[in-house]
Amino acid sequence: MKILPYVEEIDKKPIMAKRLKRTPSIVNKLKRLRGKLQLTTMNDIAGCRVILSNKKKVYKLNKLLLKKTVFELRKDYIQTPRESGYRSLHLIGKFFNENQNTHYVELQIRTFVQHYWATAVEIVDLFTNQSIKSNMGNKQWESWFQHLSELFALFEENPYLHSSNVKLNASQYKDTYIKNKTEDLTFSLFQVYSLNKKLNIIEKFQLFTKSINIANEQLKNITQKGFVLIIIDQLEDNKYSINSEFFLETEFEKANEQYLEAEKNTLNNNHYVTAFVATNAIGGIREAYPNYFADSTKFLEYLGILVSLYEHINPKLFRMLHEIKYLNK
């Protein structure tokens, strides 16, 4: 079935993409849920992602799909975020192939804000060899992303969120923050600000982006339907290269064979990453999967707004008092 007509009915500028779950992710999930999950019952090996402009459209699409298609809602991580801070709707679709074998497809529906947060986590996991996404990372990084998620959620209320006017966006965010300010939110803003300085987070994201050597620019120019195999490999001096190979839809078997061969390398090399994505990603492959390109442009724009806000509403003396107040919290 095609979900594009349903998506376009709700949002004229969505991002859509589909992918196969990476082998290391499958292995880690089976280990984490040992005894509770088997490969044959894993329902997110194949996945689709839809990114919409706001939460209202996310829930509208969810309602439409549940009413008219084979999908069912599995998890609402927007109303009840994961411990990590992850937010998205997860739907599961049940399909049958020509042999009537059952196949499951996971559909993630999220907003742009939630998407920028989630891909930032994946960028850090990739470049620092962590697994924050699975709550198996550095505790300070995990804490930072948890608090950041709470603050990013306030961007959803900003009518100027998608405006190119950053000052207007920042001004509106300040009003929203003050309106919703609580002790917990104050602490979250302090944590985001202080850990950002302690871990040099903005500088690290900028370094991640500079370290990438995109060896193949063909992804920008692909107009045909097909598949792209993306391979990221660590080079010397903490530099990385991205290589990609395009396959037509008729070459799926060949593409799949090369993907599986590349995935074998990931099992013995923590700094070797592969991805297999469809080229008909609406909005662009780079936009749908910015983590594979260390693209954190919008993420850093939003983070910059939070850092500036903290400094603006907390003069130096207040920052010192916060350091004392939250020392052991």
pLDDT per position as a tens digit, 163-179: 889 999 999 999 999 99
Highest mean pLDDT among 46-50, 227-231, 303-307, 325-329: 303-307
Q: What is the pLDDT of residue 49?
A: 87
Task: Say yes or no to pLDDT of 119 above 80.
Answer: yes
Residue 42 banded pLDDT, cuts 50, 70, 90: very low
Residue 38 banded pLDDT, cuts 50, 70, 90: very low
pLDDT, greater one: 328 or 187: 187
Q: What is the pLDDT of residue 271?
A: 63
Mean pLDDT of 30-55: 64
Residue 282 phi/psi, 5° resolution? Answer: -75, 125
Task: Say yes or no to pLDDT of 20 above 60.
Answer: no
Question: Which of 84, 102, 97, 90 lies closest to 40 in space, CA to CA?
Answer: 102
Q: What is the pLDDT of residue 111?
A: 96
What contacts 171, CB < 8 A, 6 or more positions away? none
Please give the span between the terminal C-alpha atoms of the chain, in angstroms, as a whole number. Answer: 50
Mean pLDDT of 88-95: 87
For the chain, give the percent of residues with pLDDT over 70: 75
Q: What is the pLDDT of residue 37?
A: 45
d(CA 76, CA 279): 28
Q: What is the pLDDT of residue 225?
A: 78
Residue 40 banded pLDDT, cuts 50, 70, 90: very low
d(CA 47, CA 126): 20
Q: What ranges do the domains of the chain cover?
A: 4-309
pTM above threshold 0.85 = no
